[in-house]
Structure 1
Amino acid sequence: MRDKEREGSFLYQGTVEGEKGVDIGITIDMISKMGHYDAAVLISGDTDFVPLIQYLKDSLKLVYSLSLSRGEPGQIQLFSPQIKNAVDYFHVVSEKDMLGRYLDRKAGIPPIILSEIDHRLEALSGG
């Protein structure tokens, strides 16, 4: 499970992932792999991605954004109006649906992450 929590980051299997490091990694991946897709799907409401969205759209890519809503039935929506206005298509998905219905558990997700997902689903179900 989680070894330690500090500054909003979790230590999993000996690695620390900071929010900005993840944002940068997503940006690099989306730009470096542009030749392999026609449409990008971004699951984030973080305004740090607005320049990336503009870059992708300037490169004639379609950009879709899915934002998660938390709680049951999704009282808190996690998105920025700037993201909603920048993308070609925007849709809100409940966190419970994303993790419980749409997540492909056979896609090679590490067991420690699946365990955290199961804990979150249990919390969302009131357990």
Structure 2
Amino acid sequence: MKKYFEKFVRKTDANSNVVYVFIDASNVWNAVKSAKKFIEYKNLKSYFKKNFNAGDVEIFYYDAYPKEGTRSYDLDGKHRFFTYLKKGLGFTVRKKELKRISIISENGESIIEKGNMDVEMTIDVMHNISKYNIAIFFSGDADFLALINYLRNGGKKVYIYSTKNNISHELKTGGDGYRDIKDIDEFWGKKLKHRAKK
């Protein structure tokens, strides 16, 4: 699939493309845990400019965070990271608190957490549709297939970045190309460490 990317880039003029990147943080986190390394987000814009002959790259980042007091570790680092992405790197950050839902069963009460950001991502994809000609999705969710088909039918190029263990077959084959982010050296930085407890 890498050859397809290279073929596409050769067909486009330098700085002729506008790339919008939409990152599902939960999907990326699964890759981080598997690789045992952090993503170097500061390298993403330069990577996409170089590999897609892009004059402009805009990156959207979607994440849900735990409610204060629900974790044994400090959450300040999470919020500092959001600030770094927004103010330091110029990303658009969409975030919301995880929704805690109480489930009663014969085994007693349990809490599940939900923080799906699919709607927020779809809104941004559609709201900005006239601004880009290439869309990049960091996701493995087959629910995005209908959106991707819509974009492609409208003349957009769509590429999927994920990992082989975190992507549906439908999404992997549903765009104009797929890359396994674990194979892209520029994306990876320092080793993953255990969180410090409070």
TM-score strictly above 0.5: yes
TM bracket, shorter-chain basis: 0.5 to 0.7
Q: How many residue pairs align between the two structures?
A: 92
**Structure with higher helix content:** 1
Which consecutive unaligned segments of at least 5 residues does structure 2 have? Answer: 1-64, 80-95, 99-113
Give the alignment of 1:18-97 within 5 angstroms: 18-20=114-116, 22-68=117-163, 77-94=165-182
Q: 1:96 to 1:40 in 2, by over 3 A?
A: closer
Return the index of the structure with the highest Cα Rg: 2
Compared with structure 1, are the counterparts of its residues 96 and 86 closer, same or farther at alpha carbon in structure 2 (3 Å cutoff)?
closer
Give 5+ residue unaligned stretches, structure 1: 70-76, 102-117
What's the CA shift for 1:24?
Answer: 0.6
Give the superposition deviation at 1:59.
Answer: 0.9
Q: Deviations over 1:36-88 (max 9, x none)?
A: 1000000000011111101111111000000036xxxxxxx210000012100
Normalising by structure 1, what TM-score? 0.59
**What is the CA–CA distance in structure 2 between the aligned matches of 1:98 and 1:49, rounded to whole Å?**
26
Separation (CA, whole Å) in 2 of partners of 1:36 and 1:60? 13
Q: Distance in 1 between matches of 2:182 and 2:167?
A: 12
- In structure 1, C-alpha distance between the alignment counterparts of 2:160 and 2:146, rounded to whole Å: 14
Name the structure, 1 or 2, with higher relative contact order (CA <8 Å, separation 6+).
2
More strand by share: 2
Q: 1:63 to 1:96 in 2, by over 3 A?
A: closer
Q: Find runs of 4+ consecutive structure 1 residues off by over 6 angstroms.
A: none
Q: Give the letter for the 1:121 counterpart.
A: L
The residue matched to 2:179 in structure 1 has which SS? strand
